Chain A
């Protein structure tokens, strides 16, 4: 199992947001993490990234725990945040070198990978630019490139489509598909359910810090008795059931 979250409870300070959640992402899987605002999606991501301390339970990536080997743990996971966060003092090319260097990617491979993905996301012209002159979409693409150049086994993606143009969205989904074929795992938090329905293998539906439902679209349809239901319908049904 690539990502293995077991009985995780956590949150901010004394406030517990997540209650005994279990999430797994296997190699070759794209798992959609969905839920209302404040359901705990971002908190879950922060726990995976080691930004919040785990209260009870465990988070392991590729069998590694953050507390036992932090550097190796971090090298297993790359992150595409919802809000782009780039170093103002580095150009895009320098960001890509920095990321690859930190993740111990061989220099030749990093250069080739950076060029390849920059071309696909139409960012080659921007490689020597500073983030201060990027548009919102360009910043988002830069974050995607930074994550892709690492070649990490697990990709954590938070609302990746915000600010992207339709061509970039299509290309990104194609890249996700290729990464899955290469045996990488992806956990994607999103509100764009139509896209998620078409591209995710499974879904984890969070509600008020608990897992309200999980499984494939087929399994969820069977559970809620909505044979032709879209993910939107299933989402609403799951929320209604959780709030009963």
Chain B
């Protein structure tokens, strides 16, 4: 197998899989909620822009984008575990494959940067004195940072290096020298070029691919069941110590197991924190409209409960769970979903009162609790 045919074969296989899951996702029930949230977000953002005060610090938002974008970096390499055995004989002849992988990740990074740039630039032009050339340079600089973030991971370059350059670019935006960001971005690209890997780091690239696939599978898993999804868990020592206080009784075995799963997985408490924060931002952006603020509560409660409902899947499908005398799983799961729904509802309701002071918020909260209960009983 040569470098070119390897790339072609792997890329096609990856695209086939991506298309397959995208089709499943497009048919999933959650997509309607996602459409709703996106449309809701667009409307809220549009109204926010209409009412925007020209003194709003738009440059800080653009600077924040420069900082936030490279925080997340993901690289695909299209390699699989078996390659650490079967690619060994041709390892020295894979430079063309490496170039293709780099190009893919750069393009993907650019696309990832352009979408938020388009969202922020409409705010930026309303609040800052700028020229079309400066906007183009800003866009290109941000796109390069998007590409650099992915490429740096591929080349094994420390994340802090990219973040340092991003910080420099953000500072330039703040001090009204936005056009200079392109220089910083180009400098970073030069650094990446000088530090690029000459030989394919097989094990590292296989791990990167696994990590990237897991991210995609986790996203797809919101919509459809993804087999063999490997999950990552965080220790969360403080919360974990609190869970140890669950009474030690045979009847509460599932409570213990599920709560540990809930606090340590990204599908549990991580999901609730993320969606509550996003909901809070939406409510803040819509704070001029009482109805929108109130509607955000059930919308985000629905989105959270829908995604939270299958959080026990990893435990339920485990052979140990089927083998052992653990007690009542259904009740334990319901307790957690109810607790999560009520906690999130309290936070969003209080925020709703703070932002709008409207009685509509009570209606939104009641609807949110009904949705939470529906998913708890499902």
Contact = CB atoms under 8 A, between A and B. Distances in A.
Interface residues of A, number: 26
A103 B252 CA distance: 11
**Which bucket holds chain B's interface residue count?**
20 to 34
The main secondary structure of chain B at its interface with chain A is helix
A51 B322 CA distance: 8
B249 A101 contact: yes
B324 interface: yes
B325 A107 contact: no
B320 A87 contact: yes
A94 B260 contact: yes
A87 B315 contact: yes
Contact of B261 (A71, A89, A97): A89
Given A98-B253, A101-B253, A102-B253, A89 B264 contact: yes
A173 interface: no
A85 B320 contact: yes
Contacts, number: 63
Given A88-B231, A104-B250, A49 B323 contact: yes
A79 B325 CA distance: 12
A62 B319 CA distance: 23
A75 interface: yes
A89 B323 contact: no
B324 A87 contact: no
Interface in B211-242: 231, 233, 235
Of A51, A72, A104, the most chain B CB neighbours within 10 A belong to: A104
B320 to A, nearest CB: 6
B260 A89 contact: yes
Contacts of A101: 248-250, 252-253, 256
Interface in A71-122: 71-72, 74-75, 79, 81, 85-90, 94, 97-99, 101-104, 107
26 contacts: A51-B322, A70-B325, A72-B325, A79-B323, A85-B318, A85-B319, A85-B320, A87-B257, A87-B318, A87-B320, A88-B314, A89-B233, A89-B265, A89-B315, A90-B257, A90-B260, A98-B253, A98-B256, A98-B257, A99-B324, A101-B250, A101-B252, A102-B324, A102-B326, A102-B327, A104-B325
Please name the 6 residue pairs, one residue from A and one from B, whose CB atoms are nearest each other, closest first: A74-B325, A104-B250, A102-B253, A89-B233, A71-B325, A102-B326
